[in-house]
Amino acid sequence: MSRDIKLDRNDFELLRKQIYRMCGLIIADGKEYLIQHRFKALYNSRDCRSWRDFYQLLVSGDEQFKEEAVSAISTHETSFFRDNHPFVFIRNKVLPKLLENRRFGSKIKIWCAASSTGQEPYSLAMLIHEWARIVPRAKVSPDDFSILATDISGAVIDKAKDGYFTNHEKMRGLPAGYDKYFEKSGNGWMLQPAVKSLVTFKKFNLLDSFRPLGLFDFVLCRNVLIYFDDATKINIVHRIHDLLPDKGYLMLGATETLVGHTDRFETEHEGVVILYRKKSIKK
């Protein structure tokens, strides 16, 4: 920081409680350094003289500041086809099931929650294009899918909408054969319109009501719930449950589990990947 202002215990408690109120994220004990690091640029940009000044801005009516703070404290780690195994499972198991359970004349709707700069939903869009090539045209086409991608940060949503990636971002995780979905643009790469057209981006806080989002056949909420306490985690999962049709699917991150937290889903396994299927409704 431009000035080495110590974050004392009292101000740390105020800040982490306010962060929880704004976005549900849990800042653990002893993580003063995390707040100082993540908020460094924002602290300096507002010429704060103390962390109490910073806190006062957070609880003020300055919505732009609050949004910048939430974006700064959130984790935006992502890559194309992150962890790979889940996407193999989606191709081999989920997409065929979604097609099988598809309501006549309706689109297959997918929600990618906490989508960051777009690599996950765009990976899914490319995967759908690849998969649709091996399915008879009379049965499915990429246009039969729609993907909603949301994130709490307006800044990362704006970047994701562009569909522009540096060479490093493009190559990180991208499987062989997927280069064809990118076109060279300046010093980076632009996703082809056919891929971008499947994805709609929206700024969204997971603490807000899900009702305006609509209903979905498949929800990816990967590597997100680990940042919430148990009560918030289960609240989010149960509201996702309400968005899904009978036997709809939910996929979490590799280190996240619903075991012991809810009985509203059944599990399907393929190797290290766990898929959660909404339980059938008993008539």
Q: What is the pLDDT of residue 1?
A: 44
175 band by pLDDT with thresholds 50, 70 and 90: very high
* CA–CA separation, 273 and 276 (whole Å): 10
Overall fold of domain 85-278: Rossmann fold (3.40.50)
- Closest listed residue to residue 207, CA positions, set 150, 164, 251: 150
In the chain, where does the domain assigned CATH 3.40.50.150 lie? 85-278
Q: What is the pLDDT of residue 154?
A: 92
> Identity (one letter) of the amino acid at 229?
D
* CA–CA separation, 107 and 99 (whole Å): 10
Would you list the DSSP string of 204-271? --TTS-SGGG---SEEEETT-GGGS-HHHHHHHHHHHHHHSPTT-EEEE-TT---TTT-SSEEEEEET
**What mean pLDDT do residues 196-217 have?**
96
* CA–CA separation, 151 and 119 (whole Å): 12
pTM of the model: 0.90
